[in-house]
Amino acid sequence: MKNIYLTLILAIGALGTSAQQLVLKGHVKVLPINDSIEVNTSYDGYHWKKGSIYLKANAAGNFSKILPYKQARFVQLIYGKSTQYMLLTPGRDVQVSIAVDAGSAQFNFTGKGKPENDLLKKLKLEEEANLPFVKELKSKYSYANWSIDSVISIKLPLIKRSLDSIGLLVKKAGLPIAIQGAINTQLKYQYASGLANSLANKLNTRTNRADFNLKYIDAVLTNFTVPQKQELEISAAANYYLDAYMKLKLWKGMYQYRTDKDTIHAAAIFKKDMGVVYADLANDPDRTNEVYLFGTRLKTIVPAYAWEKHLTNLLYRFCMQGQLQTATKMMRFIKNNCEDKQYILVSEKMFAPLKQQRDQYANNLNIKIRADYRTTSTVKDMVAPYKGKVVFVDMWGTWCPYCISDMEFEPALKERLKDKEVVFLYIARDEDEDDEKWRDFIFINNLTGEHIRRNSDQISSVWNEFGIPDNEQAYPRYLIFDKDGKLVEKNAKRPTDKAGLAVQIEKYL
């Protein structure tokens, strides 16, 4: 086992202004060459690798990073396959040592911030899947097979009791009240998110549809209400739950409208609960982008501060996804509709780099939009120019969040294969009216490789040539062609399996 000693010292400094900032300093010993430590300070509750800070030590093993926060902040520390939540608090320095073995890491803490971070390590908050009631869902005979009434009357009280017992554990740790409050906030909304996401996805079945929408959603939203503004400022889990809260509200409203046979009554209830006329949503010019549409139109289903924070969360998502046009529209909407000037300032700061990224990579010769991308119609024509090379095909779309998150792992794959005869061919399913959006995404994200776009009518023939049946046509999808242009892998490994996919491609070189 190789030991890596990483010191994170949280201090407060004026840094030339009256504003205080968190300063992250440290020392690393025996960090393998080219390795880095990822520090993720999630803004919207989601983990975007693009939004992370990557710390590399200098020759002496030292590093320093200023974090622009004035108060306590939860961060994720990631090394290799291992993740650890940390709570960084002004005036409570903490040192973490990382013991690394075969890509996995063990985190240990010293310093004034040791007690709270030892507690976080014990609680294992890194993944929603770690929650006890979520783990139980994997069982063949889990409570997910119960009726909705039974889940609400029997299981939900047990889940809340489990949360309360962990709250007692936090209290017994003897931490300062503010630290206890921060950890309890993170815990509460992690549990709430587990109910609103993992459990909700299991319960929302055809046989349960009515009870799920009319009973379960109310039970979750009643027991876990909208996060307070200060909770949204400190807790990633609170922001993640805010997104789920609004989603569940919308699901219930849509279900009631669509199942109510009295159309006049349905329209009246929808307007009362959602604050907008259903027909207006259905005919809205922005209906092709439902995330933007619902985010901007459903203003009254949460308090004003929560709606404005949700807007900035969506803007952050669009920026992380490289959605320049949608982000531009959202930035304009925020300026015109947000009353909290701080949210406007934060939005401007996160939006500013997006256009710069588009311009920065516009002349990258390693990004090639095929001249024949509008006319090439067969898979044979698509791979023909690359005879003598292995072709890795990425089937994706700018609208596909899983496609986008997978792309974050592709630069490492390209680096490993950079001297090999390998071509990365991206085939996007995006409509003709979204051509500029597609191009923007490619350049903003520096998506090196060859690019073709097909609209929804044209893409079906591509899937058929691949020999993939309709019920298996899902995005993202990865395929490999050998040097003779023969399809050799119809369902290649995903980029998240970095080593596995690289070996799979190298097999055909």
Residue 140: the pLDDT is 87
Q: How far is CA 16 from CA 19, 20, 21, 63, 509, in A?
A: 8, 10, 11, 20, 56
Helix/strand/coil for 277: coil
What integer pLDDT is reported at residue 19 of this predicted model?
Answer: 44
Q: Which helix (H) or strand (E) holds 428?
A: strand 422-429
Say if CB 242 and CB 231 are below 8 A apart. Answer: no
Residues contacting 474, CB < 8 A, separation 6+:
none
Instruction: Check: CB of residue 6 under 8 Å from CB of residue 84.
Output: no
From the number of C-beta atoms within 10 Å of its C-beta (0-12, 13-18, 19+), residue 455 rates as middle
Write down the pLDDT at residue 473: 93
Tokens 């004034």 correspond to 112
Q: Residue-wise pLDDT tens for the chain (509 aa)?
A: 455 555 555 544 333 333 455 566 656 655 554 577 888 989 999 999 888 988 877 776 666 777 777 788 898 988 877 899 999 888 888 888 777 666 677 888 888 899 999 999 999 888 898 899 999 999 989 999 999 999 999 999 999 999 999 999 999 999 999 999 999 999 999 999 999 999 999 999 999 999 999 999 999 999 999 999 999 999 999 999 999 999 999 999 999 999 999 999 999 999 999 999 999 999 999 988 899 999 999 999 999 999 999 999 999 999 998 889 999 999 999 999 999 999 999 999 999 998 888 888 888 889 999 999 988 889 999 999 999 999 999 999 998 988 998 998 899 899 999 999 999 999 999 999 999 999 999 999 899 999 999 999 999 999 999 999 988 999 999 999 999 999 999 999 999 998 899 999 999 99
Q: Give the contacts of 122 (CB within 8 A, at least 6 positions apart).
A: none
67-95 as b/e: b if 16+ CB within 10 A: bebeebbbbbbbbbeebbbbbbbbebbbb
Q: What is the pLDDT, as a whole number, of residue 53?
A: 86
* Selection from 374, 454, 361 nearest residue 411 by Cα: 361
Distance (Å, rounded) from C-alpha 216 to C-alpha 211?
Answer: 7
The pTM score is 0.84
